[in-house]
Amino acid sequence: MDANRPPQEVGPHGVAAEPDRVQTPLVLGLFGVLAGLAIFGAAVVAVVFFVMEKKAGGVDRAAVAEAGLERPAPDRVPPAPRLEIHTEGHWRVFRDAEKARLSSYGWMDRSTGAVHIPIDRAMELITERGVGPLPAAPMVMPRPGGPTVPLPSVNPEGRTPEGGLASPGSPKVSGERKQ
């Protein structure tokens, strides 16, 4: 046994056990030390934060002034384009104007005779008359020094040189035999 410890209680079988309780003042003291360290650490972090924020604010103000980006006076209007304040109301007005245009007749350009018609009527006309002639396909110009890609060619009957179908209006293949 240790001479610095009080004698332990010995059970009926001759086995000694340590006491099962911890001294309350020791636990409270440890809790107090930990709480004090946490409060002290938080205070140090807060002081460092406020000091650095003050320094950074001065540097930021100097950089903004140097770049000429100071906030304008409240009575000055910023340059266009300005942010919308009532976006939902503006959107409704815009949407209603677009719906009105899509459901009415009117001039697009009086000098050229261009008009707009209701979208429903335009769809009816397209189904009755079909789509007008399509513009010619763009020509592919090879790049100087670049690889050239041969374009497919077909005859007026709509047959490719290999005998497959092609779109009408495609150019005729030279040297093709008739079927």
Q: What is the tens place of the pLDDT at every residue in 61-77? A: 888 888 877 776 777 77
* 46-50, 72-76, 102-106, 164-168, range with the lowest pLDDT: 164-168
Higher pLDDT, residue 166 or 10: 10
Cα separation, 156 vs 171, whole angstroms? 7
Distance of CA 47 to the CA centre of its chain: 38
Per-residue pLDDT, averaged over 34-51, amounts to 96
Look at the block and give the residue holding tokens 């046994």.
1
